[in-house]
Amino acid sequence: MEIIAAMRERRSIRAFLPDGVPDETVIAILDEARWAPSWGNAQDWRVFVVTGEALAKVKAGLADVAGSEAPPAPDLPWPATQWPDYLASRMTYRRPAPGAAPAPPLRPGLTDVYGAPILLLLAADERLSPAYSSYDAGLLTENICLAATAHELGTCIMAMLVRYPDVLRPVVPAEGLRFVIAVALGYPDLDSELNETKRERVGLDEIVTWVK
Ligand SMILES: Cc1cc2nc3c(=O)[nH]c(=O)nc-3n(C[C@H](O)[C@H](O)[C@H](O)COP(=O)(O)O)c2cc1C
């Protein structure tokens, strides 16, 4: 698939088919994605492919915290306590910062990872700055999403699923690592309305300034 087509076709998938994804396909996607750039070529990312019984445990743990009063405690600071109005007006999905009262409950669809058979957890060494290690992980993340699109798979990048790292740590061997982001991966349910939500982008005039 042509790269520009993949960039335009990729969209967040919020309803997956239960069908499993062959290990070879996941390996191919990660093998392609690892050519992402990183600071000094440090490749300062770790990817956990969580599936099967381990994913069932993560889903159960997330469902438990969703039903509790436990405050979120993500390894990375949330982007903003209050989004500036001009950014808030663009946002389709907007949630208060962790710690802001009341903490938003995790929706059932979320805790089920939208039905995806695979959850990728991206992590970075906790000795690095959260800013640039997350920047690098972000580049890998988009490569994963584009490669998945080329393999006719769907993805959803999900910060909400790393809000409770204590749910993940008993299942995933992530000692010394910070959870940066989660990516749901699987075959998209093309009949679901959840995958037809309108997506917009602001015009270049709002984000680009030419300085000649
Ligand atoms: C850092 C980051 C965190 C995100 N977290 C979530 C999430 O927790 N749940 C979710 O459903 N979508 C999440 N998304 C997906 C965004 O909502 C989505 O990318 C945006 O609305 C644009 O839609 P599109 O991906 O379909 O183009 C996240 C995206 C990014 C980049």
Whether 160 is in the pocket of ligand 1, judged by its Cβ within 6 Å, is: yes
Indicate the top mutation candidate among 157, 163, 180 to test ligand 1's pocket, ranked by most ligand atoms within 8 A of CB.
Answer: 157
pLDDT at 99 over 80: no
Whether 92 is in the pocket of ligand 1, judged by its Cβ within 6 Å, is: yes
Residue labelled with tokens 């967040």 = 12
pLDDT of residue 172: 98
pLDDT at 64 over 90: yes
Domains of the chain by residue range: 3-207
User: Which of these, 78, 74, 76, lies nearest to 166 by C-alpha position?
Assistant: 74
pLDDT at 74 over 70: yes
Could you report the per-residue pLDDT of 15-28, keeping only the tens digit for each? Answer: 999 999 999 999 99
pLDDT at 100 over 70: no
User: What one-letter code names the amino acid at 48?
Assistant: F
pLDDT of residue 8: 94
Whether 93 is in the pocket of ligand 1, judged by its Cβ within 6 Å, is: yes
Confidence of residue 108 (pLDDT cuts 50, 70, 90): confident
pLDDT of residue 101: 53
Class of the domain covering 3-207 = alpha beta
Angstrom CA distances, 167 to 21, 46, 161, 163, 170, stand at 24, 18, 9, 9, 7
pTM of the model: 0.94
Of the chain, the percentage scoring pLDDT greater than 70 comes to: 93
- From CA 7, how far away is CA 146, in angstroms rounded? 7
Whether 95 is in the pocket of ligand 1, judged by its Cβ within 6 Å, is: no
- From CA 120, how far away is CA 195, in angstroms rounded? 20
Whether 200 is in the pocket of ligand 1, judged by its Cβ within 6 Å, is: no
Could you report the per-residue pLDDT of 156-191, keeping only the tens digit for each? Answer: 999 999 999 999 999 999 999 999 999 999 999 999
Residue nearest to atom 21 of ligand 1 (CA): 92
Whether 201 is in the pocket of ligand 1, judged by its Cβ within 6 Å, is: no
Indicate the top mutation candidate among 146, 158, 164 to test ligand 1's pocket, ranked by most ligand atoms within 8 A of CB.
Answer: 158
pLDDT of residue 106: 73
Higher-scoring residue by pLDDT: 102, 82:
82
Confidence of residue 44 (pLDDT cuts 50, 70, 90): very high
pLDDT at 97 over 70: no
Whether 34 is in the pocket of ligand 1, judged by its Cβ within 6 Å, is: no
Burial class (CB in 10 A: 0-12, 13-18, 19+), 51: buried
pLDDT at 114 over 90: yes
Angle between helices 130-150 and 23-33 (to 10 degrees): 130
Whether 195 is in the pocket of ligand 1, judged by its Cβ within 6 Å, is: no
